[in-house]
């Protein structure tokens, strides 16, 4: 939330109207700073966010009486957020889950371009929440995008808050306390997760914060009846990616790697990347009858190496296990006679059957 003069004016206009609607004259607004003792004798935890559904502001309306006395209404708490569009607001799923768990009954204030939209927290969860879509952000959080286009807006384009009010909000906002409602923490092993259509074509992909988040959000326990530890071992074992079907939905899961995150276009078909670094060694056995002839020896070795390199994509592809993933260290031992006596296609088929050939997966 950006506490600009424009946004503060919108909030002040909303709260001023709320005061008038309750036949009061003024209001106090305080940032939730997580102090566990407040001046409110009825609510010692008035400023503790965890105690009030993670709200970030608390409000109380009052009227002045004789002899300096004041008459207060009941204190209220608000979760204030901002949206760049009057059509929708984005809220993290784990925050909504926390509200649902607490059966929260406070209010969300959305500061939109055209004013402030007040929505009861109860409207974000339960059997009939307002319309929403599920999205992911770059940090691996699940985001609910709620449709607020039909919600009533309180706003006035010409209204400006006083400088004193702007200063109060601006300074107070700096002391809003931190709170933790995240169900999953970002781990050292963040994941790339791709989802596929029924015809095995890739539908979408996004980032997840941890293996535990993937296990919970994809419903692995219920749909596959395997423990978290087993799922964790499967992911850690297959560092080049893991094809898995969960509840009739096809996924590819890989621990994020800054060096390489090539996502298969088709489920079950590993994307093949071939480079000189992939080849650890090419061992060539030459016939005895040419071993003394340097020119023939060099020609035989060159022919063999060229055909090995040409056939590498097919060799890798044919030896890729969808569970184990793509090999990234290759040692091939071939006999030059095999190369000379067969076509490229036949040789490629033969080399995959040769006992001397060794492909190491790590």
pLDDT tens, position by position, 216-236? 999 999 999 999 999 999 898
Structure confidence at residue 70 (pLDDT): 86
> Please, what's the b/e burial string for 168-186 (b: 16 or more CB within 10 A of its CB; e: otherwise)?
bbeebbeebeebebebbee
Grouped pLDDT means (10 residues each) for the chain, 362 residues: 97 97 94 85 89 97 88 95 97 96 97 98 92 92 96 96 97 95 90 95 94 95 93 87 92 85 83 51 59 65 71 62 47 55 57 46 31
Q: What is the Cα–Cα distance from 239 to 233, expressed in whole angstroms?
A: 11
Q: What is the Cα–Cα distance from 54 to 175, expressed in whole angstroms?
A: 14
- H/E run at residue 39: none
Tell me the pLDDT tens digit for each residue of 325-361: 444 455 555 555 545 555 556 556 655 554 444 433 3
Q: What is the Cα–Cα distance from 49 to 35, expressed in whole angstroms?
A: 9
Structure confidence at residue 6 (pLDDT): 97
Single pTM value for the model:
0.71
3-state secondary structure of 38: coil
């Amino acid at each position: 939330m950006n506490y600009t003069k424009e946004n503060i004016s919108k909030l002040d206009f909303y709260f001023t109207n709320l005061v008038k609607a309750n036949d009061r004259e003024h209001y106090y607004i305080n940032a939730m700073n997580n102090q566990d003792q407040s001046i409110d004798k009825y609510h010692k935890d008035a400023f503790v966010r965890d105690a009030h559904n993670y709200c970030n502001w608390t409000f109380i309306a009052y009227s002045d009486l004789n002899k300096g006395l004041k008459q207060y209404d009941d204190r209220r708490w608000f979760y204030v957020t901002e949206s760049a569009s009057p059509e929708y607001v984005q809220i993290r799923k784990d925050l909504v889950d926390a509200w649902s768990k607490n059966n929260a009954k406070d209010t969300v204030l959305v500061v939109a371009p055209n004013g402030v939209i007040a929505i009861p927290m109860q409207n974000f969860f339960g059997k009939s929440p307002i319309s929403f879509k599920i999205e992911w952000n770059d940090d691996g959080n699940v985001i609910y995008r709620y449709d607020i286009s039909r919600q009533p807006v309180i706003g006035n384009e010409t209204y400006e808050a006083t400088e004193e009010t702007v200063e109060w909000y601006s300074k107070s906002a700096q002391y809003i306390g931190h709170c933790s409602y995240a169900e999953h923490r970002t781990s050292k092993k963040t994941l790339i997760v791709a989802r596929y259509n029924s015809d095995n074509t890739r539908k979408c992909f996004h980032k997840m914060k941890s293996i535990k988040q993937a296990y919970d959000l994809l419903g692995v326990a219920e749909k596959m009846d395997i423990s978290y530890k087993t799922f964790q071992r499967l992911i850690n074992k297959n560092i080049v990616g893991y094809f898995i079907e969960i509840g009739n939905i096809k996924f590819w899961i890989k621990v994020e790697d800054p060096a390489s995150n090539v996502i298969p276009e088709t489920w079950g078909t590993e994307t093949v990347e071939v480079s000189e670094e992939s080849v650890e060694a090419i061992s060539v056995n030459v016939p005895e009858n040419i071993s003394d002839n340097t020119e023939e020896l060099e020609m035989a070795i060159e022919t063999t190496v060229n055909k090995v390199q040409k056939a590498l994509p097919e060799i890798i592809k044919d030896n890729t296990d969808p569970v184990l993933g793509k090999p990234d260290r290759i040692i091939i031992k071939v006999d030059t006679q095999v190369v000379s006596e067969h076509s490229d296609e036949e040789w490629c088929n033969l080399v995959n059957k040769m006992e001397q050939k060794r492909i190491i997966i790590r």
